[in-house]
Structure 1
Amino acid sequence: MLLRQATMADLPQIESIIRDGRELLAAQAIDQWQGSYPNTSILVDDIHQGWTVVLEENNEILGTAAIIPGEDPTYQEIEGQWLTKQAPYLAIHRVAVSSHHHGRGLAGELFQRLFDQIDHAANIESVRIDTHPQNMAMQHVIKKNGFSETGTIDLTAAGLPGTKDFAYERLTVNANPAHVVATATVK
């Protein structure tokens, strides 16, 4: 398996994986990704920005995620407390794996390969992610991969007013102790 940056040629497979994720969430009666988010425009922008990565095996994309640097508008306000303050972080959004390969631990593999790269990147002190309160499978994967639950965030800035997600953060090996304001515990 290989983790690489996505190209526009990958868009059809990425859209298929996102569609599979949307359908799986709907089948579980989870109101996440049930509207127009994430749409083709967002996925194209992610690729053009250089944010999308794909997990690939034998020329088949098995998983995808958007790794976004900088201040995330949805993470500006939190009911709770981030582990870090005033520290550079990456946000992970739009994580999905192929429905044809469920049960292989691909989400965990995707996260581990990301962390291998992120932990060696200078100036990144933490990684933040969020998910729907009913998405127990993603919560399990997030916690299993070293994230600590930090509170809830409002998704109004992402165009989803009235929606609140659970927020998580994971410190990197580069975390500056002066920026760490809360104890990292996995719940």
Structure 2
Amino acid sequence: MLLRQATMADLPQIESIIRDGRELLAAQAIDQWQGAYPNTAVLVDDIHQGWTVVLEENNEILGTAAIIPGEDPTYKQIEGQWLTKQAPYLAIHRVAVSSHHHGRGLAGELFSRLFEQIDHAADIESIRIDTHPQNMAMQHVIKKNGFTETGMIDLAAVDMPGTKDFAYERVTANVKPEHMLHSVTTK
């Protein structure tokens, strides 16, 4: 398995995996991803920005995520408190794995390979992610991969006002002590 940056040629497989994720959430009566988000325009923009990564094995995409640098508008306000302040971070969005390979721990593998790359980036001090309060499977994966629940965020910045997700943060080995709001062990 390898983690690599996505290209436009990967879009059909990425859309299929996102569609699988949408259907799985609907089958669990979770309203996450049940509207127009994430749509093709968002996925194309992610690829053009260089944000999308894919987990690939034997020319098949098994999982995907958008890794976005810089300040994320959805993370500006939080009901709770981030672990870091004014620290450079990456946001992870649109995580999905192929329904044809559920049970293989692919989300964990995707995170593990991301962390290997991020932990070598001296300028990244933490990683932030969020998920729907009813998405227990993703919450489990997030917590299992070293993230700490920090509160709730409102998705108004992405045109979903009133929708609130659980927010999580994971500090890297590069975190500067002056950027920490709490005493946390780095992973």
TM-score, normalised with respect to structure 2: 0.98
CA–CA separation in structure 1 for the residues paired with 2:159 and 2:2: 33
Q: Given residue 128 of structure 1, which amino acid in structure 2 is its aligned partner?
A: R
Q: Given residue 110 of structure 1, which amino acid in structure 2 is its aligned partner?
A: L
- Identity percentage of aligned residues: 86
What does 1:39-78 correspond to in 2, within 5 Å?
Answer: 39-78=39-78
Residue in 2 that maps onto 1:82: 82
Q: Given residue 129 of structure 2, which amino acid in structure 1 is its aligned partner?
A: I
Segment of structure 1 superposing worse, 173-182 or 92-101: 173-182
CA–CA separation in structure 2 for the residues paired with 1:177 and 1:39: 39
Residue pair 1:67, 1:92 contacting (<8 A) in 2 also:
yes
Residue in 1 that maps onto 2:132: 132
Q: RMSD of the alignment, in Å?
A: 0.8
Deviation at 1:183, TM superposition (A): 3.5
- How many equivalent pairs are there? 185
What does 1:140-179 correspond to in 2, within 5 Å?
Answer: 140-179=140-179
> Which segments of 5 or more consecutive residues in structure 1 lack a partner in the other structure?
none
Three-state SS of the structure 2 residue aligned to 1:163 is: strand
Residue in 2 that maps onto 1:36: 36
Three-state SS of the structure 2 residue aligned to 1:129 is: strand
Deviation at 1:48, TM superposition (A): 0.1
CA–CA separation in structure 1 for the residues paired with 2:56 and 2:159: 30
1:120-177 residue CA offsets vs partner (Å, 9 max, x unmatched):
0021000000000000000000000000000000000011111000000000010001
Three-state SS of the structure 2 residue aligned to 1:166 is: strand
Residue in 2 that maps onto 1:7: 7
Three-state SS of the structure 1 residue aligned to 2:130 is: strand
